[in-house]
Structure 1
Amino acid sequence: MSVVLLALLLTGFDVPRWATAQEDPAPPTQGSPVPAAQEPAAPAVQEPPTPAVQEPAAPAVQEPPTPADVVPGVTAAQGGVGTFAVVVARQEERQTGVSIRAAEARSARVLARTAGNDLAERPFPTASLVKLFLAEDVLHRARTGAVTLTPEDRAQLEVMIRGSNDPAASDVWVRFGGAQAVLDVATRYGLTGTAPPLRWGQWGETTTTAADLARFLARLPVIAHPDDAAALQSWMGTATPIASDGFDQQYGVFGTLPGAAVKQGWMCCLSGQRHLHSVGIADGRVVVLLSEVPRSVGWDAAKAALDDAAAAVPPPAGS
């Protein structure tokens, strides 16, 4: 406060307003903070939801048709020429390290996947199909030490299957006891409709059923020694188009199902009938076709009927 103002106050004079006026505040010095102007907040932008990416559905795995699905079509395709029996089955696989009960349960499941038409249990003369029983039993007996096979014996078994050689079959039948071989195979494989011929030495008159042949081929890998089963199927898989007697074997399963291991049979004319058969294994599927036609029906017509039947069997997967 100045000296003049103090003197005025002491003497009682009124103090002019200008004398007590406050000075304007000093402007802010450089460096003092200046309050920033606040911009209005921008509205929040909501991103649209990202649609979920749907994975394409995996293609449905198509199951192969079951034997029960196949048999009606095969029967119809044969056309009703003569008497016809068909069975379709799945071949069993050898298992190791499993209990007997588990193995039997698996066999039961495989047999449940076997189907045939109304004549599956009807007996037919085997013709050359008996050679399968004969070869399997001789190999089995050699495996157990009951007989000794020379390389010539094995070659004889091979030509008996591949070329359906009749002289070889007759020789093996006599030397190794063919009738007993049929009985032994029937016992080991559980074939209830198979029997040796009534006339001695007439091996083509051995009787069997489509169901028994299917069971034999289905159980071959688990009943026979693995090497013997492999040998028999290898011979079937390399069957010659023309048999040793000049008969054309390319009918039925042979040539119709790609990669099939086959055995053919034909015979005329027991009781005035022709018998023409075709069995095979393709991709684990067993197919048995047995037919009987009157002698008046030629081989060509009988073969054509089996060709049509075999063509109705779905081909192996991947063929």
Structure 2
Amino acid sequence: MRGPKVFCGALPDAETQQQLRQMLSASHDGVADDLWDAEGGPALVTRMAGMLGLTGTQPPDDPGEWGDTLTTARDVVTVYRYIANRLAAPDRDLVLSALTEAPRTATDGFDQYFGIPDGLPHTPWAIKQGWGTSGDAAVMNSTGLVGPSQRYVAVLLASAPASAYGMLPQAVTAAAGALAGLLGAAGAGQ
């Protein structure tokens, strides 16, 4: 698989678009690895953080471990706002269609419907899920655009000792479920 070239002012070719859909919707790590390498690894994080004004995002200590990139909830909100409001329409449609088509089972076999999908089962969403372990820490993230017209940004970032990895999906789902009342109240006030 060749490394994809993305968002250079025009939609990438059909093969690259399909790879991006796989990476975004099914959390395909192989495609993410190729993109990481093709776009300069840590330089990709630095470049995008500068372009979007992300203040809490930094490349991983190990340049080969894109999954260890550090970010903050505020920066994730900024990324979603950029996608929704500033990304060119064809690029935005590619990204959001992939995020709305996320299957229950990711490429690696993990059930990626923890958090937003299971916690907000009757709410439209466009999600990007993340999970894994690094050293002695486990991480489980559920982020996305939620609600009518994918109007709201939801960011749930969780970490715990690696020994608690199996409990994190339920905890993140419970946190997402707690947002249901807020989304209903926000929608009622419009």
Same-fold call, TM cutoff 0.5: yes
- 1:47-62 mapped onto 2 (5 Å cutoff): none
Task: Structure 1: state its 5+ residue gaps.
Answer: 1-134
C-alpha displacement at 1:177, in angstroms?
Answer: 2.0
Match of 1:13 in 2: none
Correspondent of 2:153 among 283, 286, 310: 286
Q: Distance in 1 between matches of 2:6 and 2:88?
A: 9
C-alpha displacement at 1:295, in angstroms?
Answer: 1.6
- 1:253-283, Cα deviation, whole Å (9 max, x unpaired): 1233221110100011x23010011001113
Correspondent of 1:232 among 95, 104, 112: 95
Q: Secondary structure at the match of 2:116?
A: coil
Match of 1:206 in 2: 69
Runs of 4+ in 1 over 6 A off after TM superposition: none
The question of whether the paired residues in 1 share the 8 Å contact of 2:142 and 2:155 is answered with: yes
**TM value normalised by structure 1:** 0.52
Q: Distance in 1 between matches of 2:112 and 2:22?
A: 14
C-alpha displacement at 1:234, in angstroms?
Answer: 1.2
Residue identity matched to 1:209: T
C-alpha displacement at 1:222, in angstroms?
Answer: 2.8
The question of whether the paired residues in 2 share the 8 Å contact of 1:197 and 1:206 is answered with: yes
Q: Distance in 2 between matches of 1:227 and 1:239?
A: 19
- 1:198-225, Cα deviation, whole Å (9 max, x unpaired): 2122111111111100111123233311
C-alpha displacement at 1:228, in angstroms?
Answer: 1.0
Match of 2:176 in 1: 310
Q: Secondary structure at the match of 2:117?
A: coil
The question of whether the paired residues in 2 share the 8 Å contact of 1:274 and 1:292 is answered with: yes
Q: Distance in 2 between matches of 1:303 and 1:204?
A: 18
Residue identity matched to 2:154: V
Structure 2 residue 113 is the aligned partner of structure 1 residue 263: no
Q: Whose helix fraction is larger, Structure 1's or Structure 2's?
A: 2
C-alpha displacement at 1:140, in angstroms?
Answer: 2.5
The question of whether the paired residues in 2 share the 8 Å contact of 1:139 and 1:228 is answered with: no
Q: Distance in 1 between matches of 2:38 and 2:163?
A: 36
Task: Structure 2: state its 5+ residue gaps.
Answer: none
Match of 1:275 in 2: 139
Q: Distance in 1 between matches of 2:132 and 2:67?
A: 8
Among the aligned pairs, what percent are the same residue?
32
Correspondent of 1:223 among 86, 91, 98: 86
The question of whether the paired residues in 2 share the 8 Å contact of 1:188 and 1:223 is answered with: no
RMSD of aligned C-alpha atoms?
Answer: 1.9
Q: Max radius of gyration: which structure?
A: 1
Q: Secondary structure at the match of 1:157?
A: helix
Q: Secondary structure at the match of 1:208?
A: coil
